[in-house]
């Protein structure tokens, strides 16, 4: 039943408007007039107050200032908070929304406003409903069951006067324009084959949020693997700079493709040292006998070689990259350009680590609200693909993980089973586990003293506004190269048979490993976590894997597991074939080196809230 609003709302007391004035309405043109604070960037900010009907709640006095909207219930005999059956309802609606949490406001024309929540829920025909002009404020709230998940919420305000509604919409719109860091133009890549083939559906579900937020999106649905890479690599910088960022609707592998398409031609920096650079130096100095290298199972410091920056890096100018070029070409994107990921893949570890959950709506909200976190990126340089291939440096970047042995085998197996969707990882994982293959290899890694790690060896989890990620680095490894400026870099070596070698850039939290591969890895502390799993009894390996799969497990607490926080490492295989897994993509490499670049890129994300 649609009623006319009660008569008292039509009576003007201080009528500032001639058309349909509403009692108690106040309009202040200057902040000082009502003792409010002016917005530092916008001294003309209006402070508005008007009586509205809040849909599903009742009559409220709505106030807008530079921070947001606030409302309080207006007590009147006809709006006493009772529903149509006379039951007293305690209003549950929040009484404020900050502009920083508002992503859109829309004028809704003439339509129904309901007096109480019960009326909304039950569509009770006896409940009071009015028809009036309306506007809707779009925001979010945290899910009650999973607080890291953000769910859409709206507040619809009704008023008899169209102009009043329109004025509020204009005012709120003006306040939203003052919110810093929100994107206006985005290039969106959609992988229709992600996960269970849900990329396009995922985009269709979240696209209205971008539309409402008045963000222009240019959307490209990929037609083949590497399509997004090719577009990113071939687009001129001046065209890319028209966008505030790039959004990937897909999984980690798809994001990796976009990242590589962006970085490969734009990020110019010195390569990390080759495995042979380190061995050559050690042999020349004579302080690290080969036998000791072979036996260095525990990475004891006595056996550690020192490597001066003058001696490593070892690349001829033709094969190295100039970090001065890097500064000019890459930093042009540095300040505002961001990447977003809307999860639609099989694992989505990067999204889980950067937003705290795996939810397309949460990721979309964090994009439209312009959130930002920095992300470390590992640069992996393959020197030789197979034992017989010639020296041919080939660079790839990884945002989450580089893994060998078990991880390489799982990705090799699962690629043949793409048709199975995300279940392929369970099937391939079981097969590879049963095979229990181990591989002979040698690893050298930069030794980091615990006082250089920002945590002093303590386990500190990465969270929203993380103090570790925000700390200035003690080491000189940074965006210009992980360790290239240090006078002395100490390398440790491990050689032997490994079930797996993993280098985690971030914690790699996912549904199979709720704490991730490394629970205390950070988004942008500038460190890699090298996890070496030596050949061990099958049952012990299973025990380690079950610890990984458990929340609060201790997967590192085994003698055969080594965990080294580092900035760079080199790898040499002694087998015929060796396959790595980079962010879920296969990467064949007989010899490689990797180094981390601290906070090399920014993501549209709020940071994990674990």
Ligand X SMILES: Nc1ncnc2c1ncn2[C@@H]1O[C@H](COP(=O)(O)OP(=O)(O)OP(=O)(O)O)[C@@H](O)[C@H]1O
Q: Which residues are catalytic?
A: 252
Phi, psi of 172 (to 5 degrees): -70, -40
Binds ligand X by CB under 6 A, chosen from 4, 226, 324, 328: 226
Question: Which residues lie below 8 Å from residue 4, measured CB to CB, with a gap of 6+?
Answer: 130
- End-to-end alpha-carbon separation of the chain, Å? 47
| Residue 416 found at the interface with ligand X (CB under 6 A) | no
Query: With contact defined as beta carbons under 8 Å apart, do 227 and 260 qualify?
Result: no
Q: Which x/- pattern, by CB under 6 A, does the window 227-256 give for ligand X?
A: x----------------------xxxxx--
Q: How far is the CB of 587 from ligand X (least distance, A)?
A: 12
Phi, psi of 25 (to 5 degrees): -70, 135
| Residue 419 found at the interface with ligand X (CB under 6 A) | no
CA gap 578, 575 in Å, rounded: 7
The two beta strands, 579-582 and 216-221, are unpaired
Q: How far is the CB of 228 from ligand X (least distance, A)?
A: 7
Q: How far is the CB of 595 from ligand X (least distance, A)?
A: 23
Give which of 211, 591, 208, 529 is closest to 386, Cα–Cα. Answer: 591
Q: How far is the CB of 256 from ligand X (least distance, A)?
A: 7
Binds ligand X by CB under 6 A, chosen from 156, 222, 296, 494: 222
In the complex with ligand X, the residue whose CB is nearer, 194 or 578, is 194
In the complex with ligand X, the residue whose CB is nearer, 224 or 472, is 224
In the complex with ligand X, the residue whose CB is nearer, 214 or 227, is 227
Rg (CA), the chain: 29
Query: With contact defined as beta carbons under 8 Å apart, do 194 and 250 qualify?
Result: yes
Looking at 213-300, list the stretches that DSSP marks H as alpha helix, in order from N- to C-terminal side: 227-234, 237-240, 252-263, 275-285, 290-295
| Residue 396 found at the interface with ligand X (CB under 6 A) | no
CA gap 180, 371 in Å, rounded: 10
How many of the other CB atoms lie within 10 Å of CB of 315?
Answer: 17
Q: How far is the CB of 400 from ligand X (least distance, A)?
A: 9
**Bridge partners for 495 per DSSP:** 442
Q: Which x/- pattern, by CB under 6 A, does the window 438-457 give for ligand X?
A: --------------------
Q: How far is the CB of 373 from ligand X (least distance, A)?
A: 19
In the complex with ligand X, the residue whose CB is nearer, 334 or 415, is 415
In the complex with ligand X, the residue whose CB is nearer, 250 or 356, is 250
Three-class secondary structure assignment of 428-478: HHHHHHHHCCCEEEEEEEECCCHHHCCCCCCCCCCCCCCHHHHCCCCCCCE
Q: Exposed/middle/buried for 380, CB within 10 Å: 0-12, 13-18, 19+?
A: buried
In the complex with ligand X, the residue whose CB is nearer, 391 or 394, is 394
Q: How far is the CB of 345 from ligand X (least distance, A)?
A: 3
The footprint of ligand X on residues 136-165 (CB under 6 A) is: none
User: Count of alpha carbons within 13 Å of 335, Cβ hemisphere only?
Assistant: 4
In the complex with ligand X, the residue whose CB is nearer, 250 or 608, is 250
Q: Which x/- pattern, by CB under 6 A, does the window 539-578 give for ligand X?
A: ----------------------------------------
Q: How far is the CB of 268 from ligand X (least distance, A)?
A: 24
In the complex with ligand X, the residue whose CB is nearer, 224 or 551, is 224
In the complex with ligand X, the residue whose CB is nearer, 356 or 584, is 584
In the complex with ligand X, the residue whose CB is nearer, 351 or 519, is 351
Farthest CA pair distance, the chain: 97
The footprint of ligand X on residues 298-357 (CB under 6 A) is: 345-348
In the complex with ligand X, the residue whose CB is nearer, 224 or 390, is 224
Q: Which x/- pattern, by CB under 6 A, does the window 581-600 give for ligand X?
A: ---xx---------------
Three-class secondary structure assignment of 95-123: CEEEHHHCCEEEEEEEEEEECCHHHHHHC
Give which of 608, 606, 515 is closest to 556, Cα–Cα. Answer: 515
Q: How far is CA 511 from CA 54, 191, 230, 341, 456, in A?
A: 40, 21, 31, 17, 30
Q: Is 599 left (phi over 0), alpha (psi -120 to 50) or beta?
A: left
Q: Measured at the alpha carbon of residue 186, what is the angle toward residues 181 and 189, in degrees to the nearest 5?
A: 135
CA gap 141, 147 in Å, rounded: 9
Give which of 284, 288, 271, 270 is closest to 490, Cα–Cα. Answer: 288
CA gap 44, 31 in Å, rounded: 8
Binds ligand X by CB under 6 A, chosen from 225, 242, 332, 542: 225
In the complex with ligand X, the residue whose CB is nearer, 392 or 415, is 415
Give which of 160, 163, 164, 168 is closest to 136, Cα–Cα. Answer: 168
Binds ligand X by CB under 6 A, chosen from 223, 316, 487, 576: 223
Q: How far is the CB of 130 from ligand X (least distance, A)?
A: 48
Q: How far is CA 215 from CA 182, 208, 243, 361, 398, in A?
A: 9, 10, 11, 15, 29
| Residue 114 found at the interface with ligand X (CB under 6 A) | no
Q: Which x/- pattern, by CB under 6 A, does the window 181-200 give for ligand X?
A: ----------xxxxx-----
- Which residue number is nearest to ligand X in terms of Cβ? 251
The footprint of ligand X on residues 258-277 (CB under 6 A) is: none
Q: How far is the CB of 556 from ligand X (least distance, A)?
A: 24
Number of residues that bind ligand X (CB under 6 A): 23
Query: With contact defined as beta carbons under 8 Å apart, do 104 and 68 qualify?
Result: no
Q: Give the interface segment with ligand X, choosing from 156-164, 225-233, 308-316, 472-480 (CB under 6 A).
A: 225-233
Q: How far is the CB of 257 from ligand X (least distance, A)?
A: 5
Sign of the torsion formed by the C-alpha atoms of 402, 406, 408 and 414:
negative
Q: How far is the CB of 207 from ligand X (least distance, A)?
A: 18
Question: Under the rule (CB under 6 A), what is the footprint of ligand X?
Answer: 191-195, 222-227, 250-254, 257, 345-348, 584-585
């Amino acid at each position: 039943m649609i009623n006319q609003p009660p008569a008292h709302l039509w009576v003007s007391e201080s009528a500032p408007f001639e058309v349909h004035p509403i009692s108690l309405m106040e309009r202040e043109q200057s902040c000082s007039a009502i003792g409010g604070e002016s917005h530092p960037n916008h001294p003309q900010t209006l402070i508005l107050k008007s009586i509205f009907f809040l849909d599903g709640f009742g009559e409220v006095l709505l106030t807008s200032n530079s921070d947001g909207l606030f409302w309080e219930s207006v007590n009147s005999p006809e709006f006493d908070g009772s529903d149509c059956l006379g039951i007293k309802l305690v209003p549950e609606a929040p009484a404020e929304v900050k502009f920083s949490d508002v992503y859109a406001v829309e004028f809704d024309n003439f339509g129904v406003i309901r007096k109480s929540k019960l009326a909304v829920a039950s569509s009770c025909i006896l409940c009071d409903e009015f028809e009036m002009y309306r506007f809707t404020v779009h925001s979010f709230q945290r899910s009650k069951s999973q607080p890291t998940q953000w769910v859409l919420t709206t507040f619809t305000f009704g008023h008899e006067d169209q102009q009043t509604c329109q004025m509020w919409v204009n005012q709120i719109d003006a306040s939203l324009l003052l919110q810093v860091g929100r994107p206006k133009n985005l290039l969106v890549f959609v992988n229709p084959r992600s996960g269970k083939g849900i990329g396009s559906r995922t985009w269709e579900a979240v696209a209205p949020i971008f539309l409402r937020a008045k963000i222009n999106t240019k959307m490209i649905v990929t037609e083949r693997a590497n399509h997004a890479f090719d577009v990113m690599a071939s687009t001129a910088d001046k065209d890319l700079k028209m966008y505030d960022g790039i959004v990937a609707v897909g999984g980690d592998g798809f994001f990796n493709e976009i990242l590589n398409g962006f970085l490969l031609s734009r990020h110019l920096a010195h390569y990390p040292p080759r495995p042979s650079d380190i061995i050559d130096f050690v042999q020349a100095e004579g302080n690290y006998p080969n036998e000791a290298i072979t036996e260095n199972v525990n990475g004891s410091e006595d056996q550690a070689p020192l490597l001066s920056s003058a001696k490593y890096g070892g690349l001829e100018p033709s094969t190295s990259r100039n970090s001065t070029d890097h500064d000019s070409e890459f930093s042009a994107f540095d300040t505002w350009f961001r990447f977003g990921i809307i999860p639609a893949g099989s694992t989505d570890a990067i999204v889980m680590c950067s937003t705290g959950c795996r939810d397309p709506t949460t990721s979309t909200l964090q994009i439209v609200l312009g959130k930002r976190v920095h992300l470390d990126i590992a640069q992996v340089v393959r020197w030789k693909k197979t034992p017989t291939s010639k020296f041919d440096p080939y660079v790839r970047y990884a945002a989450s993980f580089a893994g060998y042995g078990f991880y390489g085998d799982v990705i090799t197996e699962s690629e043949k089973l793409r048709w199975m969707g995300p279940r392929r990882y369970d099937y391939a994982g079981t097969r590879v586990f049963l095979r229990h293959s181990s591989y002979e290899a040698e690893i050298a890694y930069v030794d980091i003293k615990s006082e250089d790690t920002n945590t002093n060896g303590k386990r500190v989890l990465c969270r929203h506004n993380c103090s570790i990620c925000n700390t200035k680095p003690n080491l000189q490894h940074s965006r210009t190269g992980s360790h290239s400026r240090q006078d002395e870099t100490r390398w440790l070596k491990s050689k032997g048979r490994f079930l797996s070698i993993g280098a985690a850039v971030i914690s790699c939290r996912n549904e199979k490993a709720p704490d991730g591969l490394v629970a205390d890895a950070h988004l942008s502390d500038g460190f890699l976590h090298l996890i070496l799993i030596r050949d061990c009894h099958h049952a012990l390996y299973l025990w380690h894997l079950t610890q990984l799969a458990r929340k609060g497990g201790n997967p590192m607490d085994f003698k055969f597991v080594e965990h080294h926080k580092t900035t760079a490492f080199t790898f040499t295989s002694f087998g015929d074939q060796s396959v790595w897994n980079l962010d879920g993509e296969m990467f064949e490499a007989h010899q490689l080196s990797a180094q981390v670049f601290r906070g090399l890129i920014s993501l549209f994300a709020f940071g994990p809230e674990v």
